[in-house]
């Protein structure tokens, strides 16, 4: 490849964009990565952390230097940037990809507005973190995660091969599929679950006035199963608008499913209830363990600890000695004369396994996963 082919414009300097840049730099240190973000603070941080080599004064200024463009911005912003590209008048071959959670609208728009010199490949790395911003970027964020690619109909195979080669440092599992298949699958396993989680929270809010204690009781398991309701409201607004047709189908299916289990309960059909929960349990238990999917994994370790002063500092000191970072720590239950359960959250499964080993060895406490 010539020197001009080694310049990449990264538009969007957050967790995802920053992690992609670090993965590319690991394999291709000679590549020059120019960054652009609406936040001057993020651009300065990205340069300081070595995520990018230089920053662009504007999106189009960066385009003039690059031959590869990575749009690591929200899906709605991706459409605006594609329009900017189309109207720029810049005539040269560009390989362009995005990282959005919906694909049909973006890919169709790219096919409609981009000139033939621009090769667009939709992308969706199925990994994330509880943290955001370029400071949280990690070169192995996508390791063993599925990285979906949805090329335009006109995109040449060689371009897809080139993009996979560029991104091989992510150590992700690349899967090619149509934008339609992508949006149907993610509507089931990612988009609709977020709606359900948020709806459960709304239902609880309505009950709080009548039952003031409900918020205290919801602090345990309910809080855990609705974790994803804490995701970015702006991001999920755009995702649902972009994947409207699939989401509307899921609503109809959900109404039928709720109606089915409602009828079983009304009829007091004990066998039907058992089958309902048994079938769900079997399918859920057969899902891959500790494999990255559409919803970011939670790497939690549960520790049975005695109820005495200093137990948390004891555990955190052990982890600090082993240079293991934690993202969260919380006592789920402590009552007089019984053990509490300490839930510790980590950035990766590797950190969780290391923590489990050293806590069992040094503190002699029992640990378990809640898969």
152-176 mean pLDDT:
93
Helix (H) or strand (E) holding 63: helix 59-65
Q: Are residues 130 and 51 in the same domain?
A: yes
Q: Are residues 149 and 220 in the same domain?
A: no
Among 143, 177, 211, the domain-final residue is 177
In this prediction, residue 290 carries a pLDDT of 58
Q: How many domains does the chain have?
A: 3
Residue of 323, 327, 330, 316 whose CA lies nearest to 359: 316
The domain that contains 279 carries what CATH number?
Answer: 1.10.3660.10
Q: Are residues 24 and 133 in the same domain?
A: yes
**Quick check: is 292 in a domain?**
no
pLDDT band at 340 (very low <50, low <70, confident <90, very high): low
Q: How far is CA 184 from CA 32, 59, 201, in A?
A: 36, 32, 25
Among 285, 309, 343, the domain-final residue is 285
Whether residue 121 contacts residue 155, with contact meaning beta carbons closer than 8 Å, is answered with yes
Among 134, 158, 177, the domain-final residue is 177
pLDDT in tens, 93-124: 999 999 999 999 999 999 999 999 999 999 99
At residue 334, does pLDDT exceed 90? no
Q: Are residues 27 and 168 in the same domain?
A: yes
Q: Report the C-alpha gap between 185 and 181 in whole angstroms.
A: 6
Q: Are residues 187 and 137 in the same domain?
A: no
In this prediction, residue 248 carries a pLDDT of 97
Phi, psi of 94 (to 5 degrees): -130, 140
Question: pTM for the complete prediction?
Answer: 0.80
Phi, psi of 305 (to 5 degrees): -125, 150
The parent domain of residue 243 ranges over 182-285
Q: Are residues 10 and 123 in the same domain?
A: yes
Q: Are residues 158 and 121 in the same domain?
A: yes
The domain that contains 9 carries what CATH number?
Answer: 3.40.50.720
304-314 mean pLDDT:
77
332: helix, coil or strand? strand
Please give the structure tokens belonging to residue 324: 């293991």
Whether residue 86 contacts residue 115, with contact meaning beta carbons closer than 8 Å, is answered with yes
């Amino acid at each position: 490849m010539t020197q001009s082919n080694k310049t990449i414009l990264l538009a969007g300097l957050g967790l995802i964009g920053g992690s992609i840049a670090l993965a590319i730099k690991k394999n291709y240190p000679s590549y020059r990565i120019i960054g652009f973000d609406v936040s001057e603070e993020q651009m300065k941080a990205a340069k300081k952390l070595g995520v990018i080599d230089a920053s662009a004064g504007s999106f189009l200024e960066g385009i003039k230097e690059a031959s590869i463009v990575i749009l690591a911005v929200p899906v709605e912003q991706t459409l605006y940037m594609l329009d900017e590209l189309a109207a720029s008048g810049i005539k040269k071959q560009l390989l362009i990809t995005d990282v959005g959670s919906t694909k049909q609208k973006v890919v169709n728009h790219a096919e409609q507005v981009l000139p033939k010199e621009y090769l667009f490949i939709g992308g969706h790395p199925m990994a994330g973190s509880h943290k955001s911003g370029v400071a949280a970027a990690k070169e192995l964020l996508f390791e063993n995660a599925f990285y979906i690619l949805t090329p335009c109909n006109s995109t040449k195979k060689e371009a897809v091969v080139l993009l996979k080669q560029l991104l091989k440092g992510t150590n992700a599992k690349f899967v090619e599929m149509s934008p339609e298949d992508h949006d149907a699958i993610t509507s089931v396993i990612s988009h609709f679950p977020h709606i359900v989680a948020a709806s459960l929270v709304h239902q609880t809010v309505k009950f709080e006035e009548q039952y003031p204690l409900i918020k205290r009781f919801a602090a345990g398991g309910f809080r855990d199963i609705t974790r994803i309701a804490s995701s970015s409201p702006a991001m999920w607004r755009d995702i649902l608008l972009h994947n409207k047709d699939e989401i509307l189908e899921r609503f109809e299916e959900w109404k039928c499913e709720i109606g089915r289990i409602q009828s079983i309960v009304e009829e007091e059909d004990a066998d039907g209830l058992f089958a309902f929960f048994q079938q769900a349990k079997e399918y859920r238990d057969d899902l891959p363990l500790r494999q990255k999917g559409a919803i970011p994994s939670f790497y939690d370790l549960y520790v049975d600890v005695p109820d005495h002063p200093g137990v948390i500092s004891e555990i955190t000191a052990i982890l600090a000695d082993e240079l293991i970072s934690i993202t969260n720590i919380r006592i789920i239950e402590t009552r007089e004369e019984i053990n509490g359960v300490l839930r510790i959250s980590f950035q990766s499964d590797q950190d969780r396994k290391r923590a489990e080993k050293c806590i069992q060895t040094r503190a002699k406490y029992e640990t378990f996963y809640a898969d």
